């Protein structure tokens, strides 16, 4: 069975966003196993520049990514980044199907904190996706990604959810 992990920097503080994200991940469970993995978000202070914050957070993400993906070549790590490839919902469904046909059985979607992802994390991922040209909070991106993953699997399974 396919596994979907959503690896995020920091906890989801807004309860309504957390509930929305968990709602879609619960719905997704009829198609695949799901899990949310949180790593500690780096605190922004006046003594730390953006690079230092991203680097520290990136180290935690890379370390967790190593643990989550193990040695399996069937794992596809996907970074969510504003510079990533934009896809329609159907395009995401097609991409997931294509990767499953190539042997991927686990997908790890990585979302950074408010500043995004470090170059090291981005470079470690074979695939980079953008949710939109619009800007969303990093917390809202979690819920939007969860809904789009559910929509993509609904498309793949011919469900009426996608109209």
Q: What is the pLDDT of residue 13?
A: 94
CATH class of the domain defined by 3-156: alpha beta
Closest CA to 87 of 105, 102, 109: 109
| Alpha-carbon span 52 to 4, nearest angstrom | 30
Q: What is the pLDDT of residue 72?
A: 62
Q: Is residue 99 a contact partner of residue 159, using CB atoms and an 8 Å limit?
A: no
Strands 127-130 and 3-9 come out as unpaired
The residues facing 34 across adjacent strands are 4
Sites in the chain below the pLDDT cut of 50: none
pTM over 0.85: yes
| Alpha-carbon span 118 to 94, nearest angstrom | 28
| Alpha-carbon span 101 to 81, nearest angstrom | 25
Query: Furthest-apart CA pair in the chain: how many Å?
Result: 52
Closest CA to 54 of 127, 13, 112, 10: 112
Contacting residues for 33 by C-beta, under 8 A, at least 6 apart? 1, 2, 3, 4
Q: Is residue 141 a contact partner of residue 80, using CB atoms and an 8 Å limit?
A: yes
At 118 the three-state DSSP class reads: coil
Q: What is the pLDDT of residue 67?
A: 86
Q: What is the pLDDT of residue 71?
A: 56
Q: What is the pLDDT of residue 47?
A: 86
| Alpha-carbon span 59 to 63, nearest angstrom | 6
DSSP 114: T
């Amino acid at each position: 069975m396919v596994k979907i992990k959503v690896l995020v920097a920091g906890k989801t503080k807004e309860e309504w966003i957390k509930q929305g994200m968990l709602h879609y991940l619960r719905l997704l469970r009829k198609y695949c196993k799901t899990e949310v993995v949180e790593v500690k978000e780096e605190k922004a202070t006046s003594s730390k520049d953006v690079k230092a914050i991203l680097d520290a957070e990136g180290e935690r993400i890379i370390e967790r990514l190593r643990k989550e993906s193990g040695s399996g070549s069937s794992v596809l790590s996907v970074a969510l980044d504003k510079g990533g490839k934009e896809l329609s919902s159907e395009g995401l469904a097609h991409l997931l199907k294509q990767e499953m046909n190539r042997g991927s059985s686990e997908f790890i979607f990585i979302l950074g904190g408010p500043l995004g992802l470090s170059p090291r994390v981005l470079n470690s991922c074979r695939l980079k996706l953008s949710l939109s040209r619009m800007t969303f909070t990093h917390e809202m991106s979690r819920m939007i990604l969860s809904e789009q993953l559910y929509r993509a699997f609904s498309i793949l399974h011919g469900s009426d959810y996608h109209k």
